[in-house]
Structure 1
């Protein structure tokens, strides 16, 4: 796997950041959407973040509109949704594609590092979760149906 920490991403407020800023942290990278049946998982994600953030854990949310047009808004609308409907304090990034020719390079790397069912590399739906160790060398994929709280044991193991 290439070094995911060499990737750049734009935040919801338009700042370009390097994922190298998160080197040394356990990461949960999630493609999110505001109009999805799994959207209530924002609450569980925020609870995980609050529980583990002081131990070196980060959640990175990447809005995506590739599944059923469930994230149609622009960055300002997404930011408003995330501050009012499901108040999240973890980093949120600008909308990206996770599949196809225009997929964000981070998602290309994640999909290769942790294939899905039967070796499929595409992301199947919103709220697919990728858990990455502190070195970026081990990635686990979790289905959208996996509740955030069900990841606690894996997160604890990676935090040490």
Structure 2
């Protein structure tokens, strides 16, 4: 999908290997997170779920979190899509979508992550995702408005998310 030019052009797979057109999220605010089940940051699933539920209580489906499992960092996501889904639900009560496992860096990186990194480079212009639980905030207009490192707790993103929800799509 090298021809993709906007967030809405991508169709990543869900955990049942079915395409999910991101155009379904047009006009919504979306938080994209690369996740892992055996990482020091794995407890962030609880923070992500709490953030997801509290914002959706007030803003309905105008806000979405999408988790993309990745096994590229210390082999901390070795499970199958089904095992990852079960882990997330049993241990953290995750109700937001956990997508199909992807690579976020390298030759096999998912095109969505290539696009996200290009749109919002990290510190000092570095494009590669550094570790699990890096976060990208996509605004209602499909533009990447924020990128946060793994060490950033999900709950600290509430203000940025609410600001984007308050903004109207162009």
Shorter chain as normaliser: what TM range?
over 0.9
2:43 paired with 1:40 = yes
Unaligned segments of structure 1, at least 5 residues = none
Aligned ranges 1:22-37 → 2 under 5 Å = 22-37=25-40
Aligned ranges 1:48-127 → 2 under 5 Å = 48-54=51-57, 55=59, 56-127=62-133
* Shift of residue 15, structure 1, vs aligned partner: 1.9
RMSD between superposed Cα atoms in Å: 1.1
Check conservation: 2:27, 2:141, Cα contact below 8 A. yes
Check conservation: 2:116, 2:144, Cα contact below 8 A. no
Unaligned segments of structure 2, at least 5 residues = none
Q: What's the TM-score, normalizing by structure 1?
A: 0.97
Equivalent of 1:21 in 24, 36, 41: 24
* Shift of residue 23, structure 1, vs aligned partner: 1.0
Q: Give 1:144's aligned residue.
A: 150
Q: What's the TM-score, normalizing by structure 2?
A: 0.91
How many residue pairs match? The answer is 160
Q: Give 2:159's aligned residue.
A: 153
